[in-house]
Amino acid sequence: MLIHRRRFVAALGAGAVASTAGCAGGSQEESGGGAGVAGETLTLTTTTSTYDTGLLDAIHGDFEEMYGVTVDAVAQGTGAALESARNGDSDVVMVHARGLEDEFLRNGYGVNRRDLMFNDFVIVGPESDPAGIQGMASATDALTAIADAQAPFVSRGDNSGTHTKELNLWEAAGTEPGGDWYQETGTGMGEALNVANQQGAYTLSDRGTFISQRSEIDLTILVQGPIEDGPEILANPYGIMAVNPGVHDNANYDLAMAYIGWITSPGVQESISEYQVNGEQLFFPRAVSENPDFQQYVPEGWSSDSSDE
């Protein structure tokens, strides 16, 4: 498989660096150098969408081998993943809700945020499309149409990144969802898709989970996201942050930064772009760019002028 060869090459290069550093670390372990991480465990709290698509399992072996460490990936949903990190129970977070990430940064819990990758959200529903939203260019128009038709809509209702995005969309559409047609499941994306499938309902899904599950359900994409030239508002960017060792001194900051460095490296970014489920690419790398993007390091809209607010 292509991925394997690519990973192998990436591992070789990085492995050479790591083994050299490992020798140095071995001779003076008390110095606590960055290479003295072998045998340690990195706790990553992340979202169900990165985990359930199998992406992390596919790429983590490379990192574990390179550093001789273990990655404990805990799939919790964006809200819970950030909360675990806030309590100092994880070392690094990978989530997809910029507003919540920014709050996390502003409160001092996270440092060194990087844009990681993106995919997009899609509005899916039954082929019969009772609200007639197929091919709409505006996601908010589509939601308004669903609300007007009182067509069944399934919401995650779990404070996840997808749920946060959905609420933002309703707000942008100027519609307050509610009534019999609007159901909150309080479950993961896969279950929400199943519920929508069984009830012939619409729902908002990240493209990755929908693709990995498409063969089992009858729902179809009715409004595309930006990857397929849909509206930009449906973009789904993933960010990664280390837990601030100044707040939680037990956080494994060295390893967290090694992980962030590794996952934003060109080799792994390419592995991410080559990861496929059912023959489709799920995630689009975003960390490697020729152009500077300073906004990825700070809360959105932050500038030094407003820093004292």
Sites of contact with another protein (CB under 8 A): 43, 48, 52, 56-57, 59-61, 63-64, 70-76, 87-89, 187-191, 193-194, 209, 212-213, 216-217, 248, 250
**Closest approach of another protein to the CB of residue 43, in Å:** 6
Between 160 and 269, whose beta carbon lies closer to another protein? 160
Distance separating alpha carbons of residues 282 and 273, to the nearest angstrom = 8
**Closest approach of another protein to the CB of residue 28, in Å:** 25
Between 144 and 187, whose beta carbon lies closer to another protein? 187
Between 190 and 230, whose beta carbon lies closer to another protein? 190
**Closest approach of another protein to the CB of residue 15, in Å:** 16
Kind of pairing, strands 276-277 and 70-75? unpaired
Between 217 and 233, whose beta carbon lies closer to another protein? 217
**What are the DSSP calls for 154-202, one per residue?**
EE--SS-HHHHHHHHHHHHHT----STTEEE--S-HHHHHHHHHHHT-E
**Closest approach of another protein to the CB of residue 138, in Å:** 29
List the structure tokens of 23: 């020798």
Between 88 and 130, whose beta carbon lies closer to another protein? 88
Between 133 and 219, whose beta carbon lies closer to another protein? 219
Name residues whose C-beta falls within 8 Å of residue 63's C-beta, 6 or more positions apart in sequence: 69, 71, 259, 262, 263, 268
**Closest approach of another protein to the CB of residue 170, in Å:** 24
Q: Is the dihedral of CA 104, 303, 265, 14 positive or negative?
A: negative
Q: Is-contact 66 11, C-beta < 8 A?
A: yes
Report DSSP state, residue 215.
G
Q: Is the dihedral of CA 204, 43, 22, 61 positive or negative?
A: negative
List the structure tokens of 109: 């819990």
**Closest approach of another protein to the CB of residue 294, in Å:** 31
